[in-house]
Structure 1
Amino acid sequence: MSLWNDFNNADDQQSYDVIPKGTVARVRMTIKPGGLDDPSQGWTGGFATQSTMTGSVYLNCEFVVTEGPFAKRKIWSLIGLESPKGPEWANMGRSFIKGILNSSRGLHPGDQSPKAQQMRRISGFADLEGVEFVAKIDVDKDQNGELKNIIKSAVTPDQKGYAEAMSAAPVAPVPASYTAPATQATPTQEQPAVPSARPAWAQ
């Protein structure tokens, strides 16, 4: 019989635990284009996405762990660009991107030299496509109450775990009971991991 008639020799389903809260890991970021451009805002290349429900604008991002015991695991998050409810979500998004640039380009947050300031500038969101940086991973619950991972923040050169992660040394606080998956987890649906506790103004 064919593979799609007899499933006795198919692999058993894998169980994928969430990555432990507080894990520091090197990740690679990619952006799922949403097709929205606004050159006056610096949104070019079709990377931005606008919610049809709220009007909020964001980058729909995927982060893949590149090294260590959780290599190839994927985490989905949004980076806020604009919210009809006020500037706070955009300010958080700009702060996160600044952290990504500091982390990926080895810049101390306090470095205000002309060179550092230039390195915190991008020509467009295309410059963030494929960027690798050190992230701090957290755990939250999705809309169904299931545990999921979120990217909490970018780890900069002045913070604990940065040097180890950038040198590819494992820095994750892995519990003894955890068994790292042998293959990449496949999500049941391709949706960004949006923290359920996101404030009302970010909805």
Structure 2
Amino acid sequence: MTLNFNDVTPDTTSGEFELIPTNTVARATLQLEGGDIEITEFGRGNFFKASQGGGRAKWMPLVFTIVGGNFNGRKVWHRLFVDGDKMSERNQPIAKEIGMRTMRSIIESARNIKPDDTSPNAQQLRNLNSIEDLNGMELCIKIGIEKGTNGYADRNKLIVPLTPADSGFIAGQQSPTQQPSVDQSNQQGGNVPDWAK
């Protein structure tokens, strides 16, 4: 069998597009890209990647797809680090501390929870059955531009997930009283990761 592409019109676009301007605030859906390793404290599944050049760096590749507005459908990629070599004064990897704070902000943004809300409902809404619960969440993000290096072009990046306490926060359709999904397997005495307790 031969695939003949001679009659296909050549692509005449340059392949370049205008970046989303720095400090743009938008609603976006989060997608877990997946990886090749599992970190059991975050649940089951290969959602993480690890540094191939030595060191302890581990991250979760994420894709944010803009919902609505002038940039509807555009994508922003992000590496959410959960391990690294540099340690904090609490003897935790600094990358993990930053990653956990970012995950909390993602949850608070998606579930419309103010960071200082310590009510039982807010505490319950911050719980996940596993990291996979992040997949498909719609949240508010602030977008920036990362300068390209080593011949790569500039690209958009996640600056920060915005929560209801942040200026410019765009609320979604989900009300703060909605409960997170309940994984029935955890109801039967399943393991809850330490970070989710």
**TM (normalized to structure 2)?**
0.75
Offset, 1:38: 3.2
Q: Distance in 2 between matches of 1:148 and 1:77?
A: 11
Q: How many residues align?
A: 163
CA contact (8 A) 1:36 1:43 kept: no
Match of 2:157 in 1: 150
Runs of 4+, deviation exceeding 4 Å: none
Q: 1:23–1:138: 8 Å Cα contact kept in structure 2?
A: yes
| Structure 1 counterpart of 2:68 | 67
SS at match of 1:126: helix
Q: Secondary structure at the match of 2:68?
A: coil
How far is 1:145 from its partner? Answer: 5.5
For the residue of structure 2 that corresponds to 1:139, the secondary structure is strand
The sequence identity of aligned pairs, in percent, is: 28
> Is there any run of 5+ residues in structure 2 with no aligned partner, and where?
88-92, 174-197
Per mean C-alpha deviation after superposition, the further-off stretch among 16-25 and 142-151 is 142-151
Partner residue in 1 for 2:22? 21
Q: From the superposition, tell whether residues 103 and 12 of structure 1 become closer, same or farther in structure 2 (CA, over 3 Å).
A: same
- Cα deviation code 1:16-61 (max 9, x no counterpart): 111000000011111122132232x234222122122233111011
What amino acid is aligned across from residue 131 of structure 1 in structure 2? M
Q: Partner amino acid for 2:103? A: I
Counterpart residue number, 2:78: 77
Q: Which amino acid aligns with 1:37?
A: E
**1:130 CA displacement:** 1.2
Q: What runs of 5+ residues in structure 1 fail to find an aligned partner?
A: 168-203
| Aligned residue in 2 for 1:174 | none
User: What's the secondary structure of 1:101's corresponding residue?
Assistant: helix
Q: Distance in 2 between matches of 1:147 and 1:67?
A: 23
Q: Does the CA-based 8 Å contact 2:19-2:145 persist in structure 1?
A: yes
Between 1 and 2, higher relative CO (CA 8 Å, sep ≥ 6) is seen in 1
- Deviation per CA, 1:46-86: give whole Å up to 9, x if none: 21221222331110111111111001111111001111332
Hey, what's the Cα distance between the residues in 2 that align with 1:15 and 1:34? 27
Deviations 1:75-105 (CA, angstroms, capped at 9, x unpaired):
1110011113321111111111111111000
* Residue pairs, 1:1-203, within 5 angstroms: 4-6=5-7, 9-10=9-10, 12-13=12-13, 15-39=16-40, 41-53=41-53, 54-86=55-87, 87-143=93-149, 144=151, 146-163=153-170, 166=172
Where 2:47 maps in the other structure, the secondary structure is strand
User: Secondary structure at the residue paired with 2:98?
Assistant: helix
CA, structure 1 residues 110+140, in 2 after alignment: closer, same or farther (shift >3 Å)? Answer: same
Measured at CA, do residues 30 and 84 of structure 1 come closer, stay the same or move farther in structure 2, by a change above 3 Å?
A: same
Return the letter of the residue paired with 1:65: I
Name 2:90's counterpart in structure 1.
none
Q: Normalized against structure 1, the TM-score is what?
A: 0.73
Cα distance in 2 between the residues matched to 1:80 and 1:43:
16
- Cα RMSD for the two superposed structures: 2.0
1:197 corresponds to which residue? none
CA–CA distance in structure 2, aligned partners of residues 146 and 45 of structure 1: 32
